[in-house]
Amino acid sequence: MTTNGTGTHGAIIEDTMPEEDRPLVELRNAGKSYGNIRALHGVSLTVQSGKVTCVLGDNGAGKSTLIKIISGLHQHTEGEFLVDGTPVRFTTPREALDKGIATVYQDLATVPLMPVWRNFFLGSEMTKGPWPVRRLDIEKMKKTADEELRNMGIVLDDLDQPIGTLSGGQRQSVAIARAVYFGARVLILDEPTAALGVKQSGVVLKYIAAARDRGLGVIFITHNPHHAYMVGDHFSVLRLGTMELSADRSEVSLEELTNHMAGGAELAALKHELAQVRGVDVEELPEAEDLQAPVAASSEGTS
Ligand SMILES: Nc1ncnc2c1ncn2[C@@H]1O[C@H](COP(=O)(O)OP(=O)(O)OP(=O)(O)O)[C@@H](O)[C@H]1O
């Protein structure tokens, strides 16, 4: 990797990296402290066009802090944050959006009783006619929403139905299509499958792949290594604010990823300790990977 910098005798070394290989977003040894609390430290991560970067981690690992830095809600206090190779420090989410970085949060900002097409354009409605008789261009919005959803492979029976009547997976998919339509180049998905059953999770994973195939760089935040492995090109595992693993798909198996998430070593130690306790048959205890069966499996049909 090459970067702009000062060479010997103060000469400026040009960035020779071809534009198409340059990451859309890059963190270099980035970190964030909230007062005395160091929530994130020494985190390096790249997001490339047409690739899915998965960020995994347990509760408190620092996933939200990482999203907040990239989406402009918080500023990093250590290291560097670059967009298109240029160091940035966003002060508002609007600045991140202007650079094409869109975030789809788990609790989607939709109005449940409004139709699907209305939610698709919420806050950016199409209008027609001259001022002062400008009015909503309902036909155009319906037609555009329909086209955009179909382009992503999302087929809904009726765009007039309230968005609240869609399944959780469908709502996430509409939010993904919306971000794509409004020009996102980088899509941050905050645990989009966390509250979904197996089938609905599959629906969302399909649209994550569709966004990737349309050339977006996707950051997929999840607890679930099985979901990550279905669509991921790169895996970054956070633990207590630091990067425990950063590996391309070719460098890590699902089993290894699962073990990292389960804290394989910690579980082995716990098992050993339990073995000392009378009455506990250590052979009966589950293996680390057994404990990591897809979370969604137990909540099938709840969404
Ligand atoms: N605003 C804040 N002020 C102080 N500490 C914070 C703040 N936000 C997060 N932290 C701390 O930073 C650490 C990382 O938190 P973060 O929310 O980023 O983790 P996470 O991986 O997103 O966890 P979860 O999955 O539970 O949301 C935690 O120890 C948390 O208590």
CB atoms within 10 A of CB 184: 23
pLDDT for 276:
67
pTM here is 0.80
Task: Give residue-wise pLDDT tens across range 272-284.
Answer: 666 666 565 555 5
Q: Going by C-beta distance under 8 Å and a sequence separation of 6 or more, which residues neighbour residue 156?
A: 116, 149, 166, 170
Closest CA to ligand 1's atom 28: 60
Distance 240 CA to ligand 1 centre (A): 9
Task: List the chain domain ranges.
Answer: 5-112+184-252
Residue in 219, 192, 165, 199 with CA at minimum distance from that of residue 49: 219
Q: Do the Cβ atoms of 207 and 176 come closer than 8 Å?
A: yes
Report the nearest atom of ligand 1 relative to the CA of 68.
Answer: 18
Q: Do the Cβ atoms of 142 and 161 come closer than 8 Å?
A: no
Ligand 1 surroundings by CB, under 6 angstroms: 34, 37, 39, 57, 59-65
Report the nearest atom of ligand 1 relative to the CA of 223.
Answer: 25
Which fold is adopted by the domain 5-112+184-252? Answer: Rossmann fold (3.40.50)
Angle of CA points 102, 107, 109, to nearest 5° = 60
Distance 38 CA to ligand 1 centre (A): 10
Q: Is the pLDDT of residue 39 over 50?
A: yes
Please report, as a single letter, which amino acid is at residue 170.
Answer: Q
Distance 33 CA to ligand 1 centre (A): 10
Query: What three-state secondary structure class fits 9?
Result: helix
Residue in 267, 257, 156 with CA at minimum distance from that of residue 203: 156
Looking from the CA of 119 toward its CB, the CA atoms found within 13 Å total 26
Task: Give residue-wise pLDDT tens across range 74-131.
Answer: 999 999 999 999 999 999 999 999 999 999 887 677 788 888 999 889 878 888 888 8
Q: Is the pLDDT of residue 10 over 80?
A: no
Task: Give residue-wise pLDDT tens across range 286-302.
Answer: 554 454 444 443 443 33
Regarding an ipTM greater than 0.85, the answer is yes
Q: Is the pLDDT of residue 13 over 60?
A: no
Distance 101 CA to ligand 1 centre (A): 21
- The mean per-residue pLDDT over the stretch 146-175 comes to 85
Distance 225 CA to ligand 1 centre (A): 20
Q: Is the pLDDT of residue 186 over 60?
A: yes
Report the nearest atom of ligand 1 relative to the CA of 238.
Answer: 21
Closest CA to ligand 1's atom 31: 60
pLDDT category, 263, cuts 50, 70, 90?
Answer: low
Report the nearest atom of ligand 1 relative to the CA of 65.
Answer: 18
Report the nearest atom of ligand 1 relative to the CA of 39.
Answer: 12
Q: Is the pLDDT of residue 1 over 50?
A: no
**Residue 256 is encoded by which pair of tokens?**
């290894």
Most confident of 51-55, 269-273, 296-300: 51-55
Distance 39 CA to ligand 1 centre (A): 6
Q: Is the pLDDT of residue 2 over 50?
A: no
**Residue 295 is encoded by which pair of tokens?**
């979370």
Q: Is the pLDDT of residue 203 over 70?
A: yes
- The mean per-residue pLDDT over the stretch 177-187 comes to 90
Q: Going by C-beta distance under 8 Å and a sequence separation of 6 or more, which residues neighbour residue 157?
A: none
